[in-house]
A and B are shown apart, each in its own frame.
Chain A
Amino acid sequence: MSARILIVAEHDGSKLNPATAKCVSCAGALAGAEITVVVCALEAAAVAAQAARLAGVSRVLTVENPANAHPLAAVLAPQLAALAGGFTHVLGPSTTFGKDLMARLAGLLEAPQVSDIMAIESPTRFRRPIYAGNAILSVEASGAAVVVGTVRIASFETAPSGGTATIEKAAVNVALPTHTRFVSVSAARTDRPDLQTAARVVSGGRALGSAEGFKILFSLADKLGAAVGASRAAVDAGYAPNEMQVGQTGKIIAPELYVAIGISGAIQHLTGIKDARTIVAINKDGEAPIFEVADLGLVGDLFQIVPEIERLIG
């Protein structure tokens, strides 16, 4: 039997998150897989149209409900559980949205969940990182009626556009809980690229010394058209907000170019960047572990080097 895969779209109400296109690539690795994307929203049309254009998607289901205005796992999971019948897999991105939601869905379905899928080798065989990426585990989910999974988005390319999936409204009649209520989200909207999917990322560590110190990073990032990240140490110290954290418990990223500035390279940080195509490290300590993984390393004072790089690239 070929795989019938349901992918849960992540979106902000108007735009499909790029993580969804990576889930489509993951599902597409199974030959003959039939891929359906489900969009739960207040108004789903705009997001559904974007999902329908992803190559490999055959059908988009929309579930419109005022309760879906904000993505609450406790509210979305029962709706997805009602739709899951007949699917062999239900996948979502390994983002905070997907990690929060998919495990609740797995609980409702009492199904096994494979977290952080980095490769899908057969309908029942998956590879995933464990121990902060210091080991890779192959798991076999034989005998399960349905497998729930979160997709490690750094492991997959974005599915190209060119698809022409049909869009259908799905009727879901389940009681939704009111015990969980959205209050607010403090999204710092910037003009910079999204950290999780940016081609270039400039990241700073504790050596930046202050939130003020981070300004030289933002300046360089803007020159490069890069997103800005931070180490846990820098976030803990209050130099950068939590959404900038890169690493095992922050964001796992795979940019073309990663520039680590004043980051020593704790193993938990390296986990978040090991799929970057090229890693550049700038640090005053030549013994810092970041140099073990850097393609290009430069030992010196970042406060001199960073402005000089900016000047040199014009």
Chain B
Amino acid sequence: MKRILVGIKRVVDFNVRIRVKPDGSGVITDGVKMSINPFDEIALEEALRIKERGRADEVIVATVGPADTQQQLRTALAMGADRALHVQADGVVEPLVVARALLKLIEREQPFLVILGKQAIDDDNGQTGQVLAALWGRPQATYASKLELGEGSARVTREVDAGLETLDVDLPAVITTDLRLNEPRYVKLPDIMKAKKKPLDTLTLAALGVEQRQQLKLVRFETPAQRQKGIRVKDAAELVAALKQRGLL
């Protein structure tokens, strides 16, 4: 059985305007729309396309998070994942803890490919894929914009600061996705109905033998300083004059 494991995270939807709680203890999430992290959706889409091309037999989607995360797992099943694994955990779950939990799932499921988003748009840490690859002792190809499977290896094009980098990695490997890898499909209503019948197993960190250790204490959340609104100029000449006056030209 050729399996792909996809990790997803439940995050505040990217369209929501974030507000910090007045007491600085966090950001307001009550009544806010939650979604699958957009990069993780791309990861799932890539896994589904690989399966549809006949290069994988099963796509498993996994998450570490609170009970509500099952909504996002159901969405992932509706997109086309075959089954879901929910590692239940409340509170802060650091990348190292998520990676340890995913490694336990890898040991059980023996995937030939693990695909994750390059970063979650809430904490913007961008660590889990690399930490997992390190713990697993396997290759990582981060910021992927193209993935071609060979026999026992994969050729990955990565979006790096200099341009596009190409790597060959032996399988199994961890891939993290960038924006232009693909465009995730929309979920259709009949698929949502079908997804209700797909298997979703719930586990705990303790059952996996992973301790929920927190190494970084979240001390204070603040609203960033806002830029002052500037002035309007009426034409190019006025703009150039203003730039000269400010010593910028």
What is the interface of chain A, defined by CB distance below 8 A to chain B?
Answer: 12, 72-74, 77, 95-97, 99-101, 103-108, 110-116, 125, 129-144, 177, 179-188, 196, 224, 232, 235-236, 241-243, 248-249, 251, 256-257, 267-268, 274, 278-280, 282, 291-300, 305, 308-309, 312-313
The verdict on A312 contacting B163 (CB below 8 Å), with A103-B130, A139-B217 known, is no
B162 at the interface (CB under 8 A from A): yes
What 1/0 mask marks residues of chain B from 35 to 62 whose CB sits below 8 Å from any chain A CB? 0000000000000000000000000000
B124 touching A129, Cβ below 8 Å:
yes
- Residues of B with C-beta under 8 A to A249: 118-119, 178-179
B161 touching A251, Cβ below 8 Å:
yes
- Residues of A with C-beta under 8 A to B123: 130
Chain B residue nearest in CB terms to A199: B248
The verdict on A313 contacting B249 (CB below 8 Å), with A106-B127, A137-B221, A185-B160 known, is yes
8 Å CB contact of B27 from A77, A131, A232, A312: A131
B82 at the interface (CB under 8 A from A): no
A-B CB contact pairs (8 Å), 16 listed: A104-B131, A107-B96, A112-B96, A130-B124, A136-B224, A141-B215, A179-B138, A181-B167, A181-B169, A183-B166, A242-B145, A292-B229, A295-B227, A295-B231, A297-B233, A298-B235
8 Å CB contact of A298 from B126, B138, B232, B249: B232
- Residues of B with C-beta under 8 A to A110: 96
B133 at the interface (CB under 8 A from A): yes
Nearest CB of A to B100, in Å: 9
The verdict on A296 contacting B167 (CB below 8 Å), with A73-B140, A135-B20 known, is no
What separation, in Å, do the CA atoms of A256 and B184 have in the docked complex? 38
What separation, in Å, do the CA atoms of A279 and B113 have in the docked complex? 43
B242 at the interface (CB under 8 A from A): yes
B216 touching A185, Cβ below 8 Å:
no
What 1/0 mask marks residues of chain B from 53 to 83 whose CB sits below 8 Å from any chain A CB? 0000000000000000000000000000000
A280 touching B179, Cβ below 8 Å:
no
B239 touching A107, Cβ below 8 Å:
no
A112 touching B167, Cβ below 8 Å:
no
Question: When A and B form their complex, which 6 residue pairs have the shortest distance between CB atoms, in order from nearest?
Answer: A107-B134, A103-B130, A107-B131, A112-B215, A295-B230, A103-B127
Q: Within residues 189 to 227 of chain B, which ones have a CB less than 8 A from any CB in chain A?
A: 215-224, 227
8 Å CB contact of A74 from B133, B217, B221, B229: B133
B167 touching A72, Cβ below 8 Å:
yes
Chain A residue nearest in CB terms to B127: A103
B109 at the interface (CB under 8 A from A): no
- Residues of A with C-beta under 8 A to B223: 135-136
B239 touching A95, Cβ below 8 Å:
no
The verdict on A136 contacting B221 (CB below 8 Å), with A99-B126, A113-B127 known, is yes
A274 touching B227, Cβ below 8 Å:
yes
B18 at the interface (CB under 8 A from A): yes
B164 touching A186, Cβ below 8 Å:
yes
The verdict on A95 contacting B232 (CB below 8 Å), with A103-B126, A129-B124 known, is no
Question: For the complex, would chain A's binding face be called helix, strand, loop or mixed by DSSP majority?
Answer: mixed
A113 touching B95, Cβ below 8 Å:
yes
In the complex, besides A96-B142, A243-B162, 18 extra interface pairs with C-beta distance below 8 angstroms are A74-B133, A96-B159, A100-B130, A100-B142, A107-B130, A108-B134, A112-B96, A135-B222, A136-B221, A137-B221, A179-B138, A180-B168, A180-B170, A181-B169, A224-B249, A235-B180, A295-B230, A296-B231
B236 touching A74, Cβ below 8 Å:
no
B237 at the interface (CB under 8 A from A): yes
Nearest CB of A to B115, in Å: 16
Q: Within residues 127 to 145 of chain B, which ones have a CB less than 8 A from any CB in chain A?
A: 127-135, 137-143, 145
A186 touching B163, Cβ below 8 Å:
yes
B168 touching A185, Cβ below 8 Å:
no
A184 touching B165, Cβ below 8 Å:
yes
A180 touching B167, Cβ below 8 Å:
yes
Chain B residue nearest in CB terms to A112: B215
B219 touching A139, Cβ below 8 Å:
yes
Chain A residue nearest in CB terms to B171: A179
8 Å CB contact of B143 from A74, A96, A181: A96
B121 at the interface (CB under 8 A from A): yes
A138 touching B220, Cβ below 8 Å:
yes
B179 touching A236, Cβ below 8 Å:
yes
B125 touching A278, Cβ below 8 Å:
no
- Residues of B with C-beta under 8 A to A291: 229, 232
- Residues of A with C-beta under 8 A to B178: 242, 249
- Residues of B with C-beta under 8 A to A185: 160, 162-166
